[in-house]
A and B are shown apart, each in its own frame.
Chain A
Amino acid sequence: MRWAKRGFLAAAVLAAASAQAHHSFAMFDHVNRVTLSGTVTQFQWTNPHVFIELDVPDGSGSIKHYSIECASPNVLQRIGWKFTDVKKGDKITLLINPLRNGAAGGMLETATLADGRVMSDGNPPGGTFAR
């Protein structure tokens, strides 16, 4: 279940419960993480996932656009995010798990916001997540 993931994987594994957890992670590369620095074009505080739309300069004068999936607003709010934490035009840096098919998207691991705060996506600490 895509909406049932991050932050809850640990609980899901412990509870040995339902099918509700895993396959959604499989789309992303949890080993070869990537850091993206760019400018926010949209911050979508929506279910089933929050999305950060980011323009990233490639160093040679052009821009590549990325769609970064975060946990749900429910998970993010419970770990301290606010819907106002990211705004269009913010310069931010994201550590992501890129899509394994090479497309310009991924799943958030941590975000360094415009005000310098480093926010998690709700994964268990220590990089133990699904690796």
Chain B
Amino acid sequence: MKTTRRLMLGAAAVAAVMAASLAEPAGAAGTTPDFSGAWGAYPGPRGGPPDPKLAAPAATPLLLKAKYKAPYEELRARQIESDKRGEPLSNASTACLPTGMPGMMFAIYPIEFIQSDKQVTIIAEAMSQVRRVYLDKPQLKIEEVPPGYYGHSVGKWEGDTLVIDTVGVKETVLGNRDMPHSDQMRIQERIRLVGADVLHDQITIVDPVVLEKPYTYTNAYRRMPGYEMLEYVCENNRDYIDENGVTRMRLQSQ
């Protein structure tokens, strides 16, 4: 009798474990996908033409509300005109400031994913930027998050897709194409493998103050097997801003 009971208990335990594993978020192969490792922009500067099936789809139109549209277009025109003159305007990078969110996900230099059950950590080589996506915490109200470069990110797995919500990005941290945003911005990301070695991060900017409609674009990445991320400390910044707001390069001969 004892043996039978033990066997039954054992079988029940096995069934419970199986049920628990079935209840876990299922990826394409029935498990959570693994994004761990280093990724570079796809196709990358020496990657040749992209496979149309793997390339990032086109962005949606950027529709700013009238109050923000005019100053934004004026800024873009000034940038173009200044560049033509050979006197580029300064921006955050001129001062060695990081890109923050969502700019760091552009992966101008490689990015690295570190993944656990409770957290996905993303490191950008450029400026050694770090963001943490909590998988086991609820999102905070926007007004509870001190404005910063990366905001507060929570995520969950929906099948093969990591879905992330981010709030609390400082208004001075400009977005894609230098687009402005308000303190009400939410960044919604859907990250998934579109091929064995190509990952997409579809980014939707939702900002009822600045945008007429949410703005969606996609960053595509290629896997960089074995790549060791490099450090990046902005210690030798020769850029300076002259009295006219123009970026100049400091020379030893000066």
Number of interface residues of B (CB under 8 A): 54
Task: Write out, one digit per residue, whether chain B residues 92-123 have a CB within 8 A of any chain A CB (1) or not (0).
Answer: 01101001000100101100000000000000
Closest 7 CB pairs of A and B: A23-B88, A46-B236, A100-B86, A1-B93, A26-B83, A19-B178, A4-B108
Nearest residue (CB) in B for A9 is B45
Q: How far is the CB of A57 from chain B (nearest CB, A)?
A: 15
Q: How far is the CA of A45 from the CA of B247 in the complex (A)?
A: 22
Which B positions have Cβ atoms within 8 angstroms of A?
41, 43-45, 50, 56, 58-59, 79, 82-89, 91, 93-94, 96, 99, 103, 106, 108-109, 125-127, 174-178, 217, 219-220, 230, 232-239, 247-254
Contacts of A29 in B (CB 8 A): 86
- The listed residue with most B CB atoms (<10 A of its CB), out of A17, A77, A99, is A17
Q: How far is the CA of A83 from the CA of B227 in the complex (A)?
A: 18
Q: Given A49-B236, A67-B238, is A24 in contact with B45 using a C-beta cutoff of 8 Å? A: no
Q: How large is the interface on A (under 10, 10 to 19, 20 to 34, 35 or more residues)?
A: 35 or more
Q: How far is the CA of A26 from the CA of B254 in the complex (A)?
A: 20
Q: How far is the CA of A84 from the CA of B89 in the complex (A)?
A: 34
A20 touches B235 (CB 8 A): no
5 contacts between A and B (CB under 8 A): A15-B41, A17-B176, A19-B91, A51-B236, A66-B251
Q: How far is the CA of A48 from the CA of B201 in the complex (A)?
A: 26
Contacts of B89 in A (CB 8 A): 23
- Interface status of A65 (Cβ within 8 A of chain B): yes
A48 touches B234 (CB 8 A): yes
Q: How far is the CA of A57 from the CA of B82 in the complex (A)?
A: 34
Contacts of A66 in B (CB 8 A): 251, 253
Nearest residue (CB) in B for A26 is B83
- Interface status of A53 (Cβ within 8 A of chain B): yes
- Interface status of A89 (Cβ within 8 A of chain B): no
Contacts of A27 in B (CB 8 A): 86-88, 247-249
B237 touches A26 (CB 8 A): no
Nearest residue (CB) in A for B236 is A46
B108 touches A24 (CB 8 A): no
Contacts of A124 in B (CB 8 A): 45
Q: Given A19-B174, A22-B83, is A48 in contact with B237 using a C-beta cutoff of 8 Å? A: yes
